[in-house]
Structure formats: structure tokens, C-alpha cells
Structure 1
């Protein structure tokens, strides 16, 4: 947040410092600054839409990779056109990061916690908006060069990239360590699988198949009792739980299975 904010406040001075040798007047600098909000807005629409296809985690990873290079090379650019392209690309990602953030939080923590977590993040964003430019000013006064400042922030982006990759790995592992739930209907002497939350091919192919009568849970369900144990499902170890489903008269109507991957 601070990294992206840091390029907004000092943009007039940064623009003049980086390409002053080829600028005719400060009106050109003003024109560059004037277009910033447009690309910020375009980024919010464009990157948020693109993230629906690429995935939020992958979108943020792309942001960090591009901005590592952009912040590193921006101060050494002398071409007006190339400088504006890189600057506006950074601004689109600043806007895109803001617009994509709520959906990314939902992917990580679920929609139940979205409001509270998003509030905390917006508070951090506001703090970054205050301290980011101040950090730039302090570093510039210490080093006397925007080149050093932006390359420090490029290094911070590299750290953010590492965190983003770790979060992506965490999401993959969390999805693989899932809870399986299956609803059975009781028909004659068999329990028939009717619904499951497993959307994989293995889960879909199990629909309308019977619970094996040799399964230790079968005998307990027939007695209208629950059963817990362990089983190998789709090549993975699960802690399993079976419970009978009865009507108001106590007649056996089905069963529910819950399996937690170990």
C-alpha cells in the first residue's frame, strides 16, 4: 500500500526529476499528473474484471512482479512516452488492487468475515496513504535521489511477492484439506448416495451408488446409531462420521456422512 501510495504524492517532482532533460515546460508535467486519476479508475474496472478469469491471488502476484520491475527502472527512464506508460501502468495496478481486494479477502477468509477484515485493511490503506509519501520525502532528503527511493520500494515489492506466493500455496493446501459431506437416502436395505459437496469427478461418480454393507458404519446406521472411524477416500486418509436420519415417527430415511481429511 505504501509502495503504491509513494508514487502518487511526489509524481510532479518525480516526473520533472526523471525526464526534465526532455520536458519543455511544467505544463507537460501537469498533463502527466492530470491523467493519473483516469488510469487509476481504468485499473479498478479492468483489473477487477480480469481477476475473475486469472484469479485474485494470481492477479496480486502479477501486480508485484510487474511493479518490482517498474519501480526499479522508472527513475532511469528518459523517454517521455515510456515514462508515462510505466507510470500509468503502476496507477492502473494501484486502482486494480483496491477494487480486487474485497473479493480476494472473500477468497481467503470467506464472506462472513469480509466486512470486518476489509475495514481493517482500509484503515491500513489510509495509514499507508499518510506515511507512504512521508517515507518517500524522508528517504529523498537522506539520499538526494528518487532512484534510490524507488529501488528501495522495489525491494519491498519483492518481499510482498514472496508473501503473495506463500498465501497462494496456503490456499491450495487449504482447498486440498477439505471436509467431505454426503447425504444418503435409505431404500430397502441400502443407503444410496444422493448429494455430495465433492465437485470432483470422484465425487460426481459416487452419486446413486450404495454404501458398502461391509462398511462398519452400515451396521450402526441400520441400528439407527452413529458411527465414527477412519477411512481411505480418493487416496487420502479421512476421519469419518456417519449419523442416521429419521422422520418424526423414528423411521429410518437416510444418513449423513462427514469426512475430515487428516
Structure 2
């Protein structure tokens, strides 16, 4: 994502470059214009970007293009954004034709960015309820419901195991050996261990969080791989930890409850 207000900062750059170009006595090159912008908006994310470009030019003796795109020292390395990269490419290419052309090109880019920001804000307003719902499912509902389901399943499995012990003990004391483990058509030996179910639910949680996070990021940030990876890492860790905590607490409580139901099993 570009720094906040990046389009407006481009307008400031354009105005300084254009004013310098139109002055009969003083012509301000793009390098000096960027330095002035960095001083005017210092303390902001955009100011940090322009300040880094200016430092690369003054301290390392790099050209404007190298100061931005150098593979080792370029400012773009610390501000990974396709929009910033495209805007700076427009600047470095158009500056070859003079500061007036560069200024006009950047003004057009800044207008385009501002229109994008306006559309994005409108879309965020329209999609706010959907994003909020998806975020709630990712951060709380999915791990909480899954943890409760695992806890209930654990309790039911514990009760079934105890019933199986009781039925087998009763069958051994009777004459009909064919009724071992079967009462009223129910076979208490049928079932899967609880940890298998936990693995299945855990995989389900990871898949749901992965899908919903990509969906929410696509709605909110568009095609932004950096924001997507950040959201995936954060949501997967937090939601998985919440699932583990809730499932552990619910399993302990419900298994204690099952012990109260069948205390002598």
C-alpha cells in the first residue's frame, strides 16, 4: 500500500518542480524539489520516502533514478508498492524531457492517485459490513465455534467409552455373550479417537482462515501481496491460538462434566 496521502505529496512535488521550471531566473531540478518536499512534510511516511531519496542523492552521489531504484540502496526497497514504483518511474523517465514535462506528468499521476483513493474510500464504505463480518469470523467465531465443537465431541466420546465399559462389564456378568457392547441396537465400540477429530477440525480452521483472509484482503486492499501475507500470518497465528485455548478449556470442563454423569465407570 502507498503511504497515506501519497497522491497529495506528489502534487507538492509537481508544484515545486513546475514553479522552478517556469521561473526565468531560477530553475529547480527534480533532485532539489524532492529535498524541499522532504523538509516540508518531514515526520510523515511520504516525507520519509522523499528524505531517503534525497539522502541517497546527497550522501551517496547517486542519480535520481539510482536513488530510487538502486538494487542495494534504492528508497523503493523500503517502500514496496507497485503504485509508488510506477509513479517514480514516470518521474525518472519524464524528467529527461525537462522539469516542465516531468511536473505535468506527475500532476496527471497525482490526479489519478487521488481518484483511486476516492473510489477506494467509497468502496470501503459500501463493503464495511461485509469486511466486518468476515473479520469477526476470522478472529473469533470460527476458532470459538470449532473449539466448542471439539470440546463437546470429546465429552461425548468420553461418555461413550464409559458406557462401553459398563455394558461390557454387565455382559460378562450375564449369560448372553452376543450382547457385549450392544444395547438397544447401539454399538458403543463404533467411533474415532478424539484427536483424529481435532486434526480434522484444525485443518478446517486453517483452510477457512486462509480463504477468508485472502477474500477480505482482496476487498480491502486489492492485489497487495505484502498486505495479504501480513494478514495471513497474523490471522493464522491468533486464530489458531484462540482455537487451542478454547478447545482445551471446553474439553477440560466437559470431561469433568462427563465424570459427574458417569462417576463409577
Higher helix share: 2
Same fold? TM cut 0.5: no
The structure richer in strand per residue is 1
Larger Rg: 2
